[in-house]
Amino acid sequence: MGDMGQPEPAYKTLAAELRSQIVAGRYAGGVRLPTESELSEEYGLSRQTVRRAFLELVTDGSVYRVPGRGTFATENAGQYLRQLGSIEDLMNLSADTAMQVLESPARRVDLEAAGRLRLDTDVVYRIVFQRFHDGVPFVVTTVWWPESVARLVIDAPEVEAGARSDHTMIGLLEPHLAHPIEECAQSITATVADAATAARLGCPVGHTVLRVDRLYTDSRGRAVELAVSHFLPEHYTYRVTLRRTTEPRSE
């Protein structure tokens, strides 16, 4: 906290300004961003400062450069982009988003959720929360836990209705588990927002949303969490990189 009074470096201020212009659509449709010299003159900054700002935007994926043509906004720039490749990635979603609990954990009978969790009882605990990126809600998530799992975190202040934090539910839960999470089975479908989801995401009822279901299992193969999320596609991009598992054979 000691450096709260320190001014933000000029290149970061410029990068943030350009990023906000990109989000607002100023450079949509292949419109070129100003050159380094143009920005240097407009903002009264050195070329080195402008260059550092551009480098930050290239690094975070907001822009790309075409030699001899200039700098352009990346398609989907301004959306929340996650490139996920491991269980750790899912737990670290909190790095640049905030969570707010809408409904604290409640015990209920839910045959469908209990079935998906492969329980021998119909009793589960359910919690509902939102995530925000730059203050904008981009996903609402409903999580179901077996009762034995819910009891591990039910008294944590982070799961009370109205609580805001930078945690993920699965990241909050795993340190308390006797056996670590080993697998997440995920399915992604397109669906439409019902009234409750629309109200929480600030979109019209019937709006197209991305549904992501995740079932987490521990090292014994027991399901510990079912999470169903509805994402606003305007504010969220999901990207997965696929690689070969073996070297291609040469003829």
Q: Can you give the pTM of this predicted structure?
A: 0.64
pLDDT at residue number 74:
79
Find the domain containing 233 and state its range: 80-239
Residue with tokens 């697998």: 183
Cβ-based neighbours of 239, under 8 Å, separated by 6 or more:
81, 82, 83
Going residue by residue through the chain (251 aa), what tens digit of pLDDT does each one get? Answer: 444 455 778 998 999 899 888 888 888 877 899 999 999 999 999 999 999 999 888 877 788 888 788 888 876 655 544 544 444 444 445 456 789 999 999 999 999 999 999 999 999 999 999 998 878 888 999 999 999 999 999 999 999 999 998 888 888 888 999 998 888 888 889 999 999 999 999 999 999 999 999 999 998 989 999 999 999 888 777 666 666 665 555 55
Look at residues 73, 93, 119 and tell me which one is the last residue of a structural domain. 73
The verdict on 30 and 147 lying in the same domain is: no
Pairing label, strands 63-66, 70-73: antiparallel
3-class secondary-structure state, position 184: strand
- Whether residue 4 is contained in a domain is answered as no
Out of 73, 91, 121, a domain closes at 73
User: What pLDDT sits at residue 194?
Assistant: 96
Q: Residues 36, 96: one domain?
A: no
Q: Within this chain, do residues 60 and 156 fall inside the same structural domain, yes or no?
A: no
Query: Are 217 and 224 in contact, with CB atoms under 8 Å apart?
Result: yes
User: Is residue 176 domain-resident?
Assistant: yes
d(CA 31, CA 215): 42
The number of distinct structural domains making up the chain is: 2
Structural domain contains residue 228: yes
**Same domain for 223 and 110:** yes
Determine the pLDDT at residue 193: 95
